[in-house]
């Protein structure tokens, strides 16, 4: 079965071709980072316009790289939500048009289920049950995954997502956009113990997160304690100390979730899963607890069409995905909450 995966939920336009459940024949991602950089964040109206311009060239390139034609595609998977509604609609429109014209099934995919499905592409032998930490620019959530299509939400952020905190703190430090990769880089030269920033909600039993106070703590520190301009040393120490505060809470809660769910395996997915320190610390702490941990490679962690195609594989294989031209974007769409 050849599946076309389409992702346009935020600022990456991506199309991928997946053969069966594991062979990624192509995974073309066109990032809009440069377009949004002058604004310091994603501008929704510009994002949807760029998706419109790029989606067909990206689709063409994905087919070319895979060495396949459109008439060989057996099913289509498209991100239906959550995300920016104007951006989601571009992917959905293209997906519906192709499915209608070719008379093939179409499955609407949950974006976070797609991030989790990246684990099956990284290691096809990796199976549920496991605990998944999904950390991206828009989400920070812990799931108990008991089957490819069975998720229970264990906890999530009450305010900012972890990636959002990286982006906001990078802006405060004058490091530009997007903040995650640049803080990761700068922090390598810094001392993570130089400043002590709050580990929000780390003392509570629950599995929810909060990152907005951490951003304020960095801001207050900058206002009260350091005269500009920041020395490269102070900048690196601040970046490393901030990153450490985020990483410690993510690691502690994820390991705690594995213990509560009595599972032996963990995955970390989403853009922030690219973070070097998070990879190091999670791997170390998981090992100490006798837990196996899987991080998809960076190109499968940030938004991409291959994970979307993989997330729809089980449904398409079961013969689901009757074409519904009324299928709409779902900007808010809970996953793994009772009743969903
Ligand atoms: O999953 P993703 O590509 O898009 C969303 O669904 O949001 O994640 C993007 C987020 C951004 O906030 C970006 O700053 C963050 O992932 N990110 C990182 C790193 N690489 C990307 N955060 C920390 N360290 C990184 N190396
Ligand atoms: Zn994402």
User: What mean pLDDT value characterizes the chain?
Assistant: 96
Ligand 1 pocket, residue 81 CB under 6 Å: no
Give the torsion sign (CA, 57, 59, 62, 65): negative
Which residue out of 180, 277, 301 has the highest number of ligand 1 atoms within 8 Å of its CB and is therefore the one to mutate? 180
Tens digit of pLDDT for each residue in 201-253? 887 779 999 999 999 999 999 888 767 788 999 999 999 999 999 999 999 99
Residue 340 has pLDDT above 80, yes or no: no
The verdict on the CB of residue 136 being under 6 Å from ligand 1 is yes
Ligand 2 centroid to Cα of residue 225, in Å, is: 36
Q: Residues 183-215: pLDDT tens digits?
A: 999 999 999 999 999 998 887 779 999 999 999
Q: How far is the CA of 301 from the centre of ligand 1 (A)?
A: 8
> Is 179's C-beta closer than 6 angstroms to any atom of ligand 1?
yes
Residue whose CB lies within 8 A of the most ligand 1 atoms, among 173, 271, 301, for a mutation test = 271
Exposed/middle/buried for residue 22 (C-beta within 10 Å: 0-12, 13-18, 19+): middle
Q: Which residues contact 88 (CB under 8 A, 6 or more apart)?
A: 8, 9, 79, 80, 81, 329, 330, 331
pLDDT tens digit sequence for 72-130: 999 999 999 999 999 999 999 999 999 999 999 999 999 999 999 999 999 999 999 99
Q: Kindly give the distance from the C-alpha atom of residue 189 to the centroid of ligand 2, in angstroms, as a whole number.
A: 28
Mean pLDDT of 135-156: 97
3-state secondary structure of 127: coil
pTM metric for this prediction: 0.97
Which residues, chain by chain, have CB under 5 Å from ion ligand 2?
A: 136, 303
Mean pLDDT of 43-63: 98
| Average pLDDT rounded to a whole number, residues 157-175 | 95
199 CA distance to ligand 2 centroid (A)? 24
Residue 302, ligand 1, Cβ within 6 A: yes
- 161 vs 223, more confident: 161
Least confident residue range of 17-26, 217-226, 260-269, 328-337: 217-226
**Ligand 1 pocket mutation pick from 14, 79, 161, 163 by most atoms within 8 angstroms of CB:** 163
User: How far apart are alpha carbons 334 and 184 in whole angstroms?
Assistant: 30
Tell whether ligand 1 has an atom less than 6 A from the beta carbon of residue 274.
yes
Looking at ligand 1, which atom is closest to the CA of residue 298? 20
Q: What is the pLDDT of residues 261-312, one digit of tens each?
A: 999 999 999 999 999 999 999 999 999 999 999 999 999 999 999 999 999 9
């Amino acid at each position: 079965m050849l599946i076309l995966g389409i992702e346009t939920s935020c600022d990456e336009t991506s199309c991928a071709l997946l053969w069966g459940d594991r062979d990624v024949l192509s995974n073309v991602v066109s990032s809009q980072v440069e377009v949004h950089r002058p604004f310091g964040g994603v501008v929704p109206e510009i994002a949807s316009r760029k998706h419109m311009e790029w989606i067909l060239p990206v689709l063409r390139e994905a087919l070319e790289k895979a060495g396949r034609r459109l008439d060989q595609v057996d099913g289509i998977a498209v991100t239906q939500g959550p995300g920016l509604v104007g951006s989601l609609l571009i992917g959905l429109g293209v997906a519906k048009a192709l499915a209608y014209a070719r008379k093939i099934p179409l499955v609407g995919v949950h974006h976070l289920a797609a991030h989790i499905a990246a684990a099956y592409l990284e290691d096809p032998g990796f199976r549920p049950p496991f605990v998944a930490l999904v950390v991206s620019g828009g989400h920070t959530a812990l799931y108990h995954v008991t089957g490819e299509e069975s998720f229970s939400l264990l906890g999530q952020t009450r305010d900012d997502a972890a990636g959002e905190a990286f982006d906001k703190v990078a802006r405060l430090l004058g490091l530009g956009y997007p903040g995650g990769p640049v803080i990761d880089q700068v922090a390598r030269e810094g001392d993570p113990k130089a400043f002590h920033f709050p580990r929000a909600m780390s003392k509570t039993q629950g599995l929810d997160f909060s990152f907005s106070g951490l951003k304020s703590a960095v801001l207050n520190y900058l206002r009260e304690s350091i005269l500009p301009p920041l020395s490269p040393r102070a900048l690196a120490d601040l970046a490393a100390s901030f990153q450490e505060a985020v990483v410690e809470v993510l690691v502690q809660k994820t390991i705690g979730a594995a213990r509560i769910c009595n599972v032996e395996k963990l995955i970390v997915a989403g853009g922030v899963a690219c973070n070097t320190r998070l990879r190091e610390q999670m791997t170390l702490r998981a090992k100490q607890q006798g837990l196996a941990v899987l991080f998809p490679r960076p190109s499968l962690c940030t938004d991409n069409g291959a994970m979307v195609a993989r997330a729809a594989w089980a449904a398409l294989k079961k013969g689901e995905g009757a074409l519904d031209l009324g299928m709409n974007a779902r900007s808010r769409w809970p996953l793994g909450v009772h009743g969903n």
